[in-house]
Amino acid sequence: MTKERVLEILKEAGVLLEGHFLLTSGRHSEKYLQCAKIFQDSKYSEELCAALAEKFKDAGIELVIGPAIGAIQMSYEVSRQLGVKNIFAEREDGKMTLRRSFEIQKGQRVLVVEDVVTTGGSVREVIDIVREHGGEVAGVGVVVDRTGGNIDFGVPLESVISIDVVSYTAEECPLCKAGKELVKPGSRNLKVK
């Protein structure tokens, strides 16, 4: 899949927003990628997840897992493309965990997926879960890598598209200094100050 086609999909799906946003990581940015919109339309999710699955077709993947809630549909579609099972991790009392009788077998080759990566916090938590349950993290697959390829999970990382989107701490944010209204578009319960 070409970068041009990926950008066309992101534009068509209304994924890329501009303004002053509070990211899940707590950082601020003038761009926000609402990747959940990709999964509203199966033609987009199927195309993007197929492109990602193709990158891992020879990696011996036996299970796909993603963090709830953003990667539940993605985990399903990537696993469907690979012909393997999928599960998801979710937060319980603020900690990422496996619930719903989901299991990871000892030695099982697991692909961790996420719709968008900025700091990689949720991905790292899921990697820890896989390892705690005896699984082998075969790689990390993301639709959008916001770091421009500058993140390292210690395992192979593949993205459908890598974009270097600048983000700031609240203290260094030029958008805050300019008095622009801060918006929290994501799904976590973070307070806007």
pLDDT digit string (tens) for 128-157?
Answer: 999 999 999 999 999 999 888 889 999 999
Residue type, 123: V
Answer whether residue 188 shows pLDDT above 60: no
pLDDT given at position 32: 85
CB atoms within 10 A of CB 11: 10
pLDDT tens digits for range 33-72? 888 899 999 999 999 999 999 999 999 999 999 999 889 9
Confidence label for 187 from pLDDT (cuts 50, 70 and 90) = low
CA 13 to chain centre: 17
Answer whether residue 191 shows pLDDT above 80: no
Question: Beta partners for 136?
Answer: 109
pLDDT tens digits for range 85-112? 999 999 999 899 999 999 999 999 999 9
Please name which of 41, 26, 4, 37 lies closest in space to residue 115, comparing C-alpha atoms.
37
- The answer to whether 32 and 23 are in contact (CB under 8 A) is yes
* Candidate ranges 1-15, 29-43, 81-95, 162-176; pick with highest mean pLDDT: 81-95
Whole-angstrom distance, CA of residue 74 vs CA of residue 69: 10
Local structure of 100: helix, strand or coil:
coil
3-state percent helix, strand, coil for the chain, nearest multiple of 5: 30, 30, 40
Residues 6+ apart with CB under 8 A from 170: 26, 27, 28, 176, 193
% residues pLDDT > 70 (the chain): 96
DSSP 118: S
Please name which of 126, 161, 150, 160 lies closest in space to residue 55, comparing C-alpha atoms.
160
Confidence label for 74 from pLDDT (cuts 50, 70 and 90) = very high
Please name which of 156, 164, 147, 149 lies closest in space to residue 113, comparing C-alpha atoms.
156
Threshold 0.95, pTM exceeds: no
pLDDT given at position 189: 43
Whole-angstrom distance, CA of residue 77 vs CA of residue 79: 5
